[in-house]
Amino acid sequence: MRGFRLLLAAAALAGSAVAADAQTISYAQAGAMLGKSCGPDITKLCPTVNLGNGALVACLDSKIKQVSAKCQSDYAMATASIAKRDAAQDAIGQICNADAARLCPGMIPQDGNLLSCLLQATKVVSAACNQAITDAGYR
């Protein structure tokens, strides 16, 4: 019964640990992993429950003993991946602030032009900022 909630809490924690282990996968990969590993369980146990609003997690949680081990672990991994990618994307602004001021002064940052500026300047961008761009999946 408590299994899924534990795993999800774990995922939230993993998201905040992004600086320690910053490798992230795309939302598409996380979604596909969730669908692939949990699809059979969802179809069998929670066929009338939708993905959003925590409804699916709540349903699987309530039937946790029937949920496959693969789904349990991959659900946690997918959720953690999404949180980590989100945190990595949020972190760029701060990590790349000084690089942006140095390399792209006066630019109004919209439509991805700041990212383009930093990508073009990759060779002279700080290692931390380059890493942040990679972790965010923007390369």
- Residue 38 or 129: the one with the smaller Cβ distance to another protein is 38
Do the Cβ atoms of 133 and 96 come closer than 8 Å? yes
Do the Cβ atoms of 79 and 73 come closer than 8 Å? no
Tokens of 68: 């496959």
User: Cα separation of 44 and 46, whole Å?
Assistant: 6
Q: Could you tell me how far CA 85 lies from the centroid of its own chain?
A: 3
- Residue 33 or 62: the one with the smaller Cβ distance to another protein is 33
Q: How far is the CB of 51 from another protein (least distance, A)?
A: 4
The sign one gets for the Cα dihedral 14, 135, 54, 58 is: negative
Q: How far is the CB of 132 from another protein (least distance, A)?
A: 12
Binding residues for another protein, per CB under 8 A?
6-7, 9-11, 13-14, 17, 20-21, 23-36, 38-39, 42-43, 47-54, 73, 76-77, 80-82, 84-86, 89, 100-101, 104-112, 114-115, 137-138
- Residue 94 or 111: the one with the smaller Cβ distance to another protein is 111
